[in-house]
A and B are shown apart, each in its own frame.
Chain A
Amino acid sequence: MGLPYDLNAVSSAVSVGGRWQLVATVRRFLLAALVLGQTLVATWLMLRVLPYHGGTWIEIGLAGLFAILYAWIAVGFWTAVYGFVLRLAGGDRWSLARRHSERDLALTPLTRTAVVMPIYHEPVQRTLRGLRAIYRDLERAGQIEHFEFYILSDSRDPEVWLEEQAAWQGLCNELNANGRLFYRRRTLNLNYKSGNVADFLRRWGRRSRYTVVLDADSLIGGDTLIRMVRLMEREPRVGILQTAPGVVRGRSLFARIQQFANRLYSPLFATGLAGIQMGDAAFWGHNAILRTDAFMAHCGLRKLPGAGLFRGPILSHDFVEAAFMGRSGYEVWLEPSLGASYEESPPSLADELSRDRRWSKGNLQHLWIMLRAPGLRFAHRMAFFNGIMGYLSSPLWLLFLALTTVEAAQLALMPIDYFPDDQPGLFPLWPEWRPGLALTLALTTVTMLFAPKLIAWLDALIHRRARSFGGVFRTLVSVVVETVVSVLLAPIKMLAHSAYVLGGLFNLSLRWAGQNRTEETRWREALVSQAPGMAIGLAWSAFAWYLDPLFFLWSLPVAVPLVLSAPTAVWLSRVRAGQCLCRLGILCTPEETAPSRLLQDTDDEESLLPPLGQLTRFEEAVLLPAVNAMHCSLARSHPGRLRRETLQTLARRCLDRGPGALDRAELSHLCRDSDTLAWLHHAAWRSDPDTWWGRKLAQAVAS
């Protein structure tokens, strides 16, 4: 495959780039040494804390689980420390962005780039307003002529996709984007989002050298897009360049907490992660630019051939695509210094858990690829492992708690066993309790968990970012609020993720749907969904009290959040609570205190579509001439005799009794046929006043 850029012009960058592997190896070895060394010490301390010092199978299990979970926490901690140090040094000098001067980048010519937004039952107006903001930002940057936009819909409900099409038409007119903003809807949804993107690539992949992939809630500034294209032009070895999107536009308390955490802590974690992964980074599926020909040539996703979960289409495609890109010899970079890249948080705990349900199954599926795909780089196998552990750590933690309870129950209810599990020799094993050491170990673990938050606060002070978070003091208060909420959420997520992992392993079916991005959680919904967690929390703490008051105290950090899970879920989803803290200057983010023009554009509530009045999107599609003509132009003509007869029957029924006489599939069928849609338009306007469409037109006249 030919590389698109003159290699002489980028030879110095390539030679710098060629040495990154050595730096990455050193950094990764150091990370491994720190994590393993620390974990060994902590596990040894854990064995000291356990009454029989690992002399029973339960204690061996406890120590083993502790080691895994501790190592997992340590990886996060040291990643943040790496990020802190790199940022303190003024950024990672090995990163892509640091290899080229602003002047060189500015002189790099742009080339045609496709910006694709796959959507599936998303809030249409909100989603396309985001796309409009990106388009306008590129226009302001003066480089719109190098970009093409594609809305790639997988929506099934005709009311939704008719609205998408009408909004697309409105957007084309408003932005004067005819011929630059395109719309395609697949009628056959194969292989989820990755199938949608692959469908696009098969049709238009050879039109553009680069493809920017967005999510429905993605926002990227025009200057960032231009910079991404230029970096790709200058770095021909790079197959995927991933930005680190910041979370914005949160309104509920939950979303504002997530976005505060993201905006304050993410620079550390993303810089650290990028510094460790370097050219073996992951692809997160959106807010990234792909080298189109390389992606097409190497990143096709076969169906998994195994059994159960490991059979069928790959659910979470992005990590796999990054690994395949790496396998083909291209590099994948995460570049946190690329600003103005944003996404949104789910508005409530329920929505985040719903998303996690899909992601957990997708990540577990990676186990097959991690173990069996040939030729993958070790770093990408580790990225799979990291993703799997993101969810597997929850059942491991749950198992750890269960074994702790069994251990406590044995000690409280059964006589002391001086010769546990065939203790060899004549000497008994005396159980020992070391509450001081236990407390030390617990505090060490807690420090590992929460220290990155304080380091991030310190980072904000050092780099003078605290003002954009509401000031030094308010930032600290926000960190405390976020920490308290994360403590409340951790056991709830642990329980939910454990259930998802079990469900995933048993390959229980799940519904793949668009996210709710706006609604609050109702009490009834929260009580029903959180009832198992509340019951487990109550039962466990009561049992702990029955066993030993001290064990009861140890159980509280997990039990109390579980018992409070329903009010937590409801309270966090409240927009009013989020806005109240916003007014107090708590949980503020730079984008809230000084929003960019790009973000201001997304607040432009000017509708993309004329107000509906009393018409549904289907009625609009039938009645309004411009909308009907547009839908007809997107639909196909189906000439087969049988199909024509069926469509005519449906159209006649729709004309006589209105769209309510057709089910969703029939409406969809009807709207996909241009001849029938045109016929309905003409017939509806000709209808007598006392018919269904006649009355509808009378209403339209009145409104």
Chain B
Amino acid sequence: MEKAICQYALDRVMLYLRNYGVEPSPEVCRRALTLIDECLRDADSAACDGPGAMPGGVLAMVFDRLPEVFSLPDLDLPVQRPPIRRGSIGYGPPV
């Protein structure tokens, strides 16, 4: 049976939150459901056209509003490189 859009939205929100390390507690589920409920109510069929344009629809709206509903933790990114201390390579006489 084809899933309803709300099921897709809930699955996706919970997956997203899990990737941020947010545990799916009852409280988190309730807030996610509330977010989806609001988005279903407000959704219009926003067009998605042209390079650079974001997809529209309920799911887009859910993910637009998600940071307002959940305070996502900062991602701990490793330091890619230390401060640069440039040096030069010396070349001997030509061979």
Q: Which residues of A are interface residues toward B (Cβ below 8 A)?
A: 148, 168-169, 172-173, 177-179, 181-184, 198, 201-207, 293, 296-302, 304-305, 324, 327-328, 368-369, 372-375, 624-626, 629-630, 633-634, 645, 648-649, 651-652, 655, 679, 682-683, 685-689, 691, 694, 697-698, 700-701
A134 to B85, CA, bound (A): 25
Pairwise interchain contact A181-B78, C-beta atoms closer than 8 A: yes
Q: Nearest B residue to A205 by beta-carbon distance? A: B87
Contact B12 A182 (CB under 8 A): no
Given that A374-B93, A688-B57, A697-B12 are contacting pairs, would A173 and B19 also be in contact in the complex, using a CB cutoff of 8 Å? no
Which one of B8, B15, B85, B92 contacts A206 once the chains associate, using CB atoms below 8 Å?
B85
A201 cross-chain contacts in B, Cβ below 8 A: 87, 89
Residues in A whose Cβ lies below 8 Å from that of B1:
none
Residues of A within 8 A of B94 (CB): 302, 305
Number of residues of chain B lying within 8 A (CB) of chain A:
39
The answer to whether A697 and B15 touch (CB under 8 A), given A206-B86, A375-B93, A625-B20, is yes
Give B53-95 as 1s and 0s: 1 = Cβ < 8 Å from A's Cβ atoms.
0111101100110000000000111111110111111111111
Indicate if the CB atoms of A203 and B86 lie closer than 8 Å: yes
B8 and A686 form a contact (CB under 8 A): no
Chain B proximity of A632: nearest CB distance (Å): 9
What is B's interface to A at a CB cutoff of 8 Å? Answer: 3, 5, 8, 11-12, 15-16, 19-20, 51-52, 54-57, 59-60, 63-64, 75-82, 84-95
Query: In the assembly, what is the distance between CA of A335 and CA of B90, in Å?
Result: 27
A630 and chain B: residue at smallest CB distance: B77
A652 engages B51 (CB within 8 Å):
yes
* Contact (Cβ within 8 A) A204 B51: no
With most chain A CB atoms within 10 A of its CB, the pick from B8, B16, B78 is: B78
Question: What is the CB-to-nearest-CB distance from A149 to chain B, in angstroms, rounded to a whole number?
Answer: 11
Interface centre among B76, B84, B87 (most CB of A within 10 A): B87
Q: What distance in Å separates the Cβ of A631 from its nearest Cβ neighbour in chain B?
A: 10
Q: When the two chains form their complex, are residues B86 and A686 in contact, meaning their CB atoms are under 8 A apart?
A: no
A173 touches B81 (CB 8 A): no
A701–B9 alpha-carbon span in the complex (Å): 11
Q: What's the minimum C-beta distance from A377 to chain B, rounded to whole angstroms?
A: 13
Partner of B12 from A651, A683, A685 at Cβ < 8 Å: A685
Are B87 and A685 closer than 8 Å at their CB atoms? Answer: no
Contacting pair B82 A148 (CB below 8 A): yes
Most buried by A among B5, B15, B20: B15
Q: Do A372 and B95 touch across chains, with their CB atoms under 8 A apart?
A: yes
Whether A700 touches B15, Cβ cut-off 8 Å, given contacts A368-B95, A629-B77, A685-B63, is yes
- In the assembled complex, how far is the CB of residue B68 from the closest CB belonging to chain A, in whole angstroms? 15
Q: Can you report 21 residue pairs joining A to B where beta carbons are below 8 Å apart?
A: A168-B78, A178-B76, A179-B78, A183-B80, A201-B87, A202-B86, A206-B87, A298-B92, A305-B95, A625-B19, A625-B20, A633-B80, A634-B80, A649-B51, A652-B52, A683-B55, A687-B59, A688-B55, A689-B5, A700-B15, A701-B11
